[in-house]
C-alpha cells in the first residue's frame, strides 16, 4: 500500500459512533489514505477496528495518529508519529517490517533527513497555509518539498490545503495532500474528496 493522493485525516466527529458514515463518504469520494486522529476522549479499540475495516474495504491503508499500541490492537496498517511520540525504531519493532510509519517533519529538513535515516516510510511537512486544526503551527514553504525530494520518501503536505492551493504543492513534490477540515468540515464530504483527488489526476 502506498502513500499517494488524498490523505484524509479524521476530525472528532468521525471518532463518535455515528462517524462511520462520514468516513465512508470520504472513502467513496476517493481518499487514498486514512489517518484516524482522535484526541480526547480518543478512540476505543472497537471503534478503531471498525474504521480500519472500512478503509480496507476500499483497499486503502489506515493509520493511527500517535498511538502505536492502538495501531497494533486495531490491526491498522501503521502509525503517524509526531515529535513527542514514540521513535520510528520502537514503532517498527512493535508493528513489524510491513507497517507504514510516517513522521511529522514540520518545516525542518534536517528532521526529515533524520526520520528517513531511521526508516520512516513517508515524511510529512506543514503547515503550508493557515489551518483551523492547528492555527499556531510553524509555516512551511512549498520549496521545502522540492528540497526533500532527494530523500526518496513519499512527501505528505498538510495545513490549510484546499483544492485551490493544493496544485502548487503537488507541483513542488507532494505525493499526498493531508486534509482534515477541507473534507470533514464540508457539507458534502464525498464531493470535497473528489475535488482534491482531481488535482492528482490532472497532474499525471
The residues facing 122 across adjacent strands are 102
39-87 pLDDT per residue, tens: 767 789 999 999 999 999 999 999 999 999 999 999 999 999 999 999 9
Cell reading at 41:
476522549
- Report how far apart, in Å, the C-alpha atoms of 30 and of each of 179, 191, 203 are: 13, 9, 16
Q: What is the pTM of this model?
A: 0.96
Cβ-defined contacts of 85-92 (< 8 Å, 24+): 87/118, 88/115, 88/118, 88/119, 88/120, 89/118, 89/119, 92/119
CATH 3.40.190.10 holds for 5-203 = no
Kindly report, residue by residue over 3-40, the tens digit of the pLDDT: 999 999 999 889 887 789 999 999 999 999 999 998 76
CA–CA gap between residue 181 and residue 17 (Å, rounded):
19
Do residues 153 and 116 touch, judged by C-beta distance below 8 A?
yes
Q: Where are the domains of the chain?
A: 5-203
Is the separation of the CB atoms in 108 and 89 below 8 Å? no
Amino acid at each position: 500500500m502506498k502513500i499517494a493522493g488524498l490523505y484524509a485525516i479524521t476530525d472528532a466527529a468521525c471518532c463518535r459512533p455515528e462517524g462511520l458514515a462520514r468516513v465512508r463518504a470520504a472513502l467513496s469520494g476517493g481518499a487514498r489514505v486514512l489517518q484516524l486522529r482522535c484526541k480526547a476522549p480518543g478512540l476505543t479499540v472497537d471503534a478503531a477496528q471498525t474504521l480500519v475495516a472500512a478503509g480496507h474495504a476500499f483497499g486503502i491503508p489506515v493509520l493511527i495518529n500517535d498511538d502505536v499500541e492502538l495501531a497494533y490492537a486495531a490491526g491498522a496498517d501503521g502509525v503517524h508519529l509526531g515529535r513527542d511520540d514514540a521513535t520510528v525504531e520502537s514503532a517498527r519493532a512493535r508493528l513489524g517490517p510491513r507497517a507504514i510509519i510516517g513522521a511529522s517533519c514540520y518545516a525542518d529538513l534536517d528532521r526529515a533527513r533524520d526520520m528517513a535515516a531511521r526508516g520512516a516510510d513517508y515524511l510529512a511537512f506543514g503547515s503550508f497555509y493557515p489551518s483551523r486544526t492547528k492555527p499556531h503551527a510553524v509555516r512551511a514553504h512549498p520549496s521545502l518539498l522540492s528540497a526533500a525530494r532527494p530523500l526518496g520518501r513519499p512527501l505528505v503536505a498538510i495545513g490549510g490545503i484546499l483544492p485551490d492551493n493544493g496544485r502548487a504543492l503537488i507541483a513542488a513534490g507532494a505525493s499526498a495532500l493531508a486534509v482534515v477540515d477541507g473534507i470533514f468540515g464540508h457539507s458534502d464530504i464525498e464531493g470535497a474528496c473528489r475535488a482534491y483527488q482531481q488535482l492528482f489526476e490532472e497532474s499525471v
